[in-house]
Structure 1
Amino acid sequence: MKKTIIILSCILSLTTINSCSDYLDPENFSSVSEAQQFESTSDTFTALVGVYSQLAGDDGYGQRLALIYPHSSDDFRTSGDYNCNDRRGISTFGACPTNTELNKPFLKLYSGIERANLCIKNIPLSPVYQTGSDADKKLMDRYLGEALTLRAQFYYELIRNWGDVPFQDKPSADYDNLYLPKTDRDVIYEKIIADLAQASALVPWRSEGSTTNARISKGFVKGLRARIALARAGYSLRRSPQQMAQGSNPQTYYQIAYDECKDIMNHAGEHSLNPSYEAVFRALHSNTQDATNEIIFCVGAFGGNARTDSKIGYYNGLKHDDNSNWKGGGGINALPIYFYEFTKYDLRRDMNVGIFKVNNANQAEIVNAISFTDSKYRKSWTNITGPSQNLAVDWPLLRFSDVLLMFAEADNEIHGVPSTEAINAVKLVRNRAYAGNLGQVGTIPTDKVGFFNYIVQERLLELGSEGIRKYDLIRWNLLDAKITETRQKLTAFASGTGQYANVPLNLYYKKSVYDPTKSAQQNVNDIDIFFTGGDKSQVFYMPSQDATPTGYTKIAWRAAVLPTYISDPVKGFAQYFQPNKKELLPIYSDIIQSNYNLTQDYGY
């Protein structure tokens, strides 16, 4: 039998709900009825773990949904040459419907929805509600809230990548016809926004539920509701007519985002900014909480396998050569101009952009400007050495700094100008980035347009390589404009004109011992880069000399950006982007063929 959209999502998924058996020992549900799964709180929790498991792994936020689908926009791109049938096709906006990278993530999201639907249906029917203690009933309510939240996350991910999709809010067995057509995304948004309001009343705050950041707390429920509300208020590619259009009644949804973010901010004891930007990401490499719980929710990774673990730090992140202590990284490249969006005083620069690699002798050496990597993730920050690809690095789905910036954006839209509270929220984020150099923070605009543009830029700097930027630009209807602007900046960078007039053509450096215990900034400072001007922090902002100094190695900096990097059909940046089409991905062709009610749309 051909797979339909729903049947492919595990049919009843009961036979595979033990995918988290690494730390649970659940019963084999292939011999258990649907209702029996929810006869106790412990069995219900096991079912809920099965829903959580669909976040992880190579086809979830362990690789494809986190590292391949979000690129590229004006910050990062997948390495390698264009091919419409692999990950590079997705990165260059040139994916074919036959691209197999489109298949399993789509199916996995629906599998998560199916599992969530089983919990959402059966938890209220459980005998625990009839005979259980008040504590047990409260626990079951919590599980229900978590299942509602997970289903909302799965649908949000489907919508932001594929637009209108088939909608199921009950288990497959309860449908007479599994060949479902697409449902308008606004209908789905309305449902999951309402579900999250319900979940918010059921799920406790982090401290109340003794919740780690790998489990949903009230903070994430509210933050996800704010994020989805901003998506509903913003632009998206519509089917009829096929063009970018803003959602109806945007002020209603800005207000939801404002209220939810404000409530999180009012519970500073639950989540707040970590004084150290770097420490937030270091914690993800050891499956620990950062000191102030800035990471509100992350996808936990474990098990050393493609189903439940992650390749974060191996596929992406700082490049470590094959014969170094740590093999991996480098699969995603930062655009050369992204480095120059940061000032030299911004502590986020060397975290977001890795300008060096770790060579086979475990030394740091500068790479050319088209080989920069994302640097928040590093295999050398884990305790794993050798060729292993699964590093158990968690993926952050929501941070408190994102909440602050969403609040400021919603405030500005509601009031027509940013309030003092909105300006202060942005200032918190900005001040952390400039710790030790607060005099360099600059002035935050106080008019609506100026403040909005400031938010656009600040989110670029704060949330780099976190799988957010492309979707931000889409909901602002800025993706086309930013891709065009990025090409213009790359051209100016290559020619050394405009804002890049003083960027060096080449750099000259000596290798240094790489010490992963040092900060990202210190790793860069430790590399001896030749400079005659006195203040070595200026080396990236002053023209270079022509001859290679004795004892130094020459590396192409501006010289590395050739015309092929910008406009070549195989190597060019975002070469296949088309506005009013490529904002969304095609659905994998076999899935279309399996459901006669499902259409491809958007010109694919």
Structure 2
Amino acid sequence: MKKSSQIIIAAVVVSGSFASCKKYLEVETPSTISQEAVFNSVSYTNSAVTGVYAMLVGDNGYGNRISCLYPQTADDFKTSGSYSPLDRRGISMYGASSGNTELLNPFRQFYRGIERANICIKYIPASALYSSGSADQQKTLRRLYGEALTLRAQFYYELIRNWGDLPFHQVPAADLQDPYLPKTDRDTIYNHIIEDLRIAGELVPWRTEFSEGARITKGAVKALRARIALARGGYSLRTAESKYGQIMARPDDYKTFYQIAYDETKELLAHREQHTLNPTYEDIFLTINSGNRKDAANELMFEIGAFGSNASTDTKLGYYNGLRHNGTSRYGAGGGGINAIATYFYEFDSIGDCRRDVTINSYEIDANSKKLLNAANNMTDGKYRRSWTTNWGTTAQTYGVNWPVIRFADVLLMFAEADNELKNAPSAEAISAFEEVRRRAFKGYETRMGTTPTDKDGFFKAITQERLLEFGGEGIRKYDLIRWNLINAKFEETRVKLRQFMNGEGRYANLPLYVYTKAADYNIIASVQEVATLDVYGGAPSKVFFEPGLGSTSAPSGYTVKNWRRSVTEDGITGLQSGFASYFKPSSRELFPLHSDIINENFRLKQDYGY
């Protein structure tokens, strides 16, 4: 994508919102090159498909809003700040209004992506080169056709999981007889895109058969097909007019889609020469932050490429989210827009599981470029860090940091989940896949992994917990909880845990009210060692985080007091301004409202789900 970022051609029709005659069907001034001519050139066709990729990124794509805002809140992270129905805090607290400023432009952009994909999908197979060009030309055009099918599927999937039933079309806007399309049931859309991905999987080559970087390959297609199949076979919030009524429901034939997920992931497990686990968990995220390739295993199966240092084609990863850096530090300002749920820190094994200190930043970088412990309710997501990039000391907000759509760890855990569901208990192969992910996390401490359950319910619960630990901050957890119909139960469970944390009860009985800290050197070393060298009063952090401590608001000489248990309050649990998912309503807020502009532009659309 970096290589191709400047060759988006005018022949690709740029449109606005799908749900709008005015915004969606207005076609730009025609290019001097006809569409037929464009798609009879391999080079121009490649440019057209590059134009589809371009709709994934930027502030309104996976560069910020869809990656950092839409996935909040789950039982891992939430957006920082106080509630407003009109911005990102309204999304995070499940109280977004139809006028929320964050909901309109991503919706429009992804439908522009669908329109661009539809043009490619129509014209590529109709090209003379597609059927009668040279062998190399035909091979390239088939690959590009498969990429366009995959991208359209990804756009629709993202829209469905955030808004549910939506208008659906598979042809360019100019071919529609009626621009005012009604909503289509999401199961119908899912069926179409799952079939599209089956076709794409036959057209797109394996990674080792194709050398151009940052493009979709066969492994990515199959992994995405498995993910979307599990969503199709999972629970989702239905409209009041559906055959289910307005409830969370999954289809009767859900196992059909678990079988698709099983088949796709099983094939990927048989092709470890293409993708497998990176032996070092932290290296995955060093790869996407620094551009220094530390993922020779190609665990990163599909990334959204970022480039250009602008709001349209780059990302704000590491600037909006990630490790908090003081603006006067040597690194420049960055991070802090997403906070860890205080109890999430204690879901990880504190000794053996390396993922905690990669996933959660328990410290921030101060004005003197040193690290200083955070309060327990002010920790941030850790997989994005400005200090891991090469953009030190500038005022830049965009660092060319990619967003990971899917990685091989997800393939292993999807396989284990599908196997368990289809066979009513995990097979030895499913247990092995599950333990492979867990064993990497506990590298050097394998004896602390625990025993893997062998019954269906126990194994499923282990999967739900492992996905919490493995994918924290990657925009996955909220959607997992929804497709399992566990989001309300997990919210209630998390509130109980937060209250126990606040009161020092149960598993949190020995935690300190306060921790005392002073600035320490920030070495930019492995995260486990970075946390181990925090300067806290009373001994090593591994000891201090688990003992009552002094219990005083007065810090020892030279130290600063940080609230630990005391940082969590009842207002932070149930308050209407800063509480945990305070506006969530089961069978109502699992999906977003349509922005009022979208409703106004298409008379066949209305709000559902009680908005």
TM superposition score category, shorter chain reference? over 0.9
Q: Contact conserved, 1:13 with 1:114, CA < 8 A, in 2?
A: no
User: What corresponds to 1:379 in structure 2?
Assistant: 386
Q: What is the CA deviation profile of residues 384-422 of structure 1, one whole-angstrom value per residue up to 9, with x for unaligned ones?
A: 022211111000000100110000000000000000010
Q: Contact conserved, 1:409 with 1:452, CA < 8 A, in 2?
A: yes
- Is 1:310 the counterpart of 2:311? The answer is no
User: What corresponds to 2:219 in structure 1?
Assistant: 219
User: What corresponds to 1:327 in structure 2?
Assistant: 333
The residue correspondences of 1:281-300 to structure 2 (distance < 5 A) are 281-287=285-291, 289=293, 290-300=295-305
Q: What is the CA deviation profile of residues 57-101 of structure 1, one whole-angstrom value per residue up to 9, with x for unaligned ones?
A: 000000000000000011111000000000100000000001111
Q: Contact conserved, 2:216 with 2:302, CA < 8 A, in 1?
A: yes
Cα displacement (A) at 1:56: 0.3
User: What corresponds to 1:542 in structure 2?
Assistant: 547
Q: Contact conserved, 1:179 with 1:595, CA < 8 A, in 2?
A: yes
Q: What amino acid does structure 2 have at the position aligned with 1:425?
A: A
Cα displacement (A) at 1:536: 5.1
Q: What amino acid does structure 2 have at the position aligned with 1:444?
A: T
Q: Residues 492 and 44 (structure 1 numbering): CA distance in 2 closer, same or farther, change over 3 Å?
A: same
Cα displacement (A) at 1:530: 1.9
Q: What is the CA deviation profile of residues 202-239 of structure 1, one whole-angstrom value per residue up to 9, with x for unaligned ones?
A: 00010111253x21000110001000110011100001
Q: What amino acid does structure 1 have at the position aligned with 2:469?
A: L
User: What corresponds to 2:9 in structure 1?
Assistant: none
- Paired positions, count: 587
Distance 1:286 1:92 in 2: 32
User: What corresponds to 1:140 in structure 2?
Assistant: 141
Secondary structure of 2:380's counterpart equals coil
User: What corresponds to 1:244 in structure 2?
Assistant: 248
Q: What is the CA deviation profile of residues 113-143 of structure 1, one whole-angstrom value per residue up to 9, with x for unaligned ones?
A: 0000000000011121244101100110000
Secondary structure of 2:608's counterpart equals coil
The residue correspondences of 1:393-404 to structure 2 (distance < 5 A) are 393-404=401-412
Q: Contact conserved, 2:17 with 2:112, CA < 8 A, in 1?
A: no
Q: What amino acid does structure 2 have at the position aligned with 1:248?
A: D
Q: Contact conserved, 2:93 with 2:580, CA < 8 A, in 1?
A: yes
User: What corresponds to 1:365 in structure 2?
Assistant: 372
Q: Contact conserved, 1:6 with 1:110, CA < 8 A, in 2?
A: no
- Is 1:160 the counterpart of 2:166? The answer is no
Cα displacement (A) at 1:510: 2.2
Q: What amino acid does structure 2 have at the position aligned with 1:347?
A: C
Q: What do you get for the CA RMSD once the two structures are aligned?
A: 1.6
Q: Residues 197 and 470 (structure 1 numbering): CA distance in 2 closer, same or farther, change over 3 Å?
A: same
Q: Contact conserved, 1:235 with 1:244, CA < 8 A, in 2?
A: yes
Q: What amino acid does structure 1 have at the position aligned with 2:93?
A: T
Cα displacement (A) at 1:543: 1.2
The residue correspondences of 1:400-439 to structure 2 (distance < 5 A) are 400-439=408-447
Cα displacement (A) at 1:287: 3.6
Q: Residues 484 and 13 (structure 1 numbering): CA distance in 2 closer, same or farther, change over 3 Å?
A: farther
Distance 1:13 1:120 in 2: 18
Cα displacement (A) at 1:456: 0.3
The residue correspondences of 1:184-195 to structure 2 (distance < 5 A) are 184-195=185-196
User: What corresponds to 1:526 in structure 2?
Assistant: 533
Distance 2:134 2:70 in 1: 45
Q: Residues 118 and 14 (structure 1 numbering): CA distance in 2 closer, same or farther, change over 3 Å?
A: farther
Q: Contact conserved, 1:280 with 1:294, CA < 8 A, in 2?
A: yes
Secondary structure of 2:103's counterpart equals helix
Cα displacement (A) at 1:288: 5.2
* TM-score, normalised with respect to structure 1: 0.95
Distance 1:371 1:247 in 2: 40
Cα displacement (A) at 1:286: 3.0
Secondary structure of 1:581's counterpart equals coil
Distance 1:457 1:587 in 2: 32
Secondary structure of 1:507's counterpart equals strand
Distance 1:64 1:2 in 2: 18
Secondary structure of 1:387's counterpart equals coil
Q: Residues 8 and 60 (structure 1 numbering): CA distance in 2 closer, same or farther, change over 3 Å?
A: farther
Cα displacement (A) at 1:504: 1.2
Q: Contact conserved, 1:297 with 1:398, CA < 8 A, in 2?
A: yes
Cα displacement (A) at 1:324: 1.0
- Is 1:342 the counterpart of 2:348? The answer is yes
Q: Contact conserved, 2:16 with 2:23, CA < 8 A, in 1?
A: no
Q: What is the CA deviation profile of residues 35-63 of structure 1, one whole-angstrom value per residue up to 9, with x for unaligned ones?
A: 22211110000000000000000000000
Q: Residues 12 and 45 (structure 1 numbering): CA distance in 2 closer, same or farther, change over 3 Å?
A: farther
Distance 2:130 2:582 in 1: 56
Secondary structure of 2:290's counterpart equals coil
Q: Residues 14 and 194 (structure 1 numbering): CA distance in 2 closer, same or farther, change over 3 Å?
A: farther
- Is 1:256 the counterpart of 2:260? The answer is yes
Partner residue of 1:469 out of 474, 477, 497 = 477
- Is 1:482 the counterpart of 2:490? The answer is yes
Q: Residues 191 and 51 (structure 1 numbering): CA distance in 2 closer, same or farther, change over 3 Å?
A: same
Partner residue of 2:281 out of 272, 277, 280 = 277
Distance 1:14 1:201 in 2: 34
Distance 1:404 1:453 in 2: 16
Taking only the aligned residue pairs, the percentage that are identical comes to 52
Distance 1:7 1:506 in 2: 58
Q: Contact conserved, 1:2 with 1:594, CA < 8 A, in 2?
A: no
Cα displacement (A) at 1:523: 1.5
Distance 1:130 1:291 in 2: 36
Q: What amino acid does structure 2 have at the position aligned with 1:374?
A: D
Q: Contact conserved, 1:93 with 1:574, CA < 8 A, in 2?
A: yes
Q: What amino acid does structure 2 have at the position aligned with 1:384?
A: N
The residue correspondences of 1:174-193 to structure 2 (distance < 5 A) are 174-193=175-194
Secondary structure of 1:541's counterpart equals coil
Q: Which runs of 5+ in 1 are unaligned?
A: 16-28
Distance 1:286 1:373 in 2: 19
Partner residue of 1:496 out of 491, 494, 504 = 504
Q: Contact conserved, 2:370 with 2:520, CA < 8 A, in 1?
A: yes
Secondary structure of 1:410's counterpart equals helix
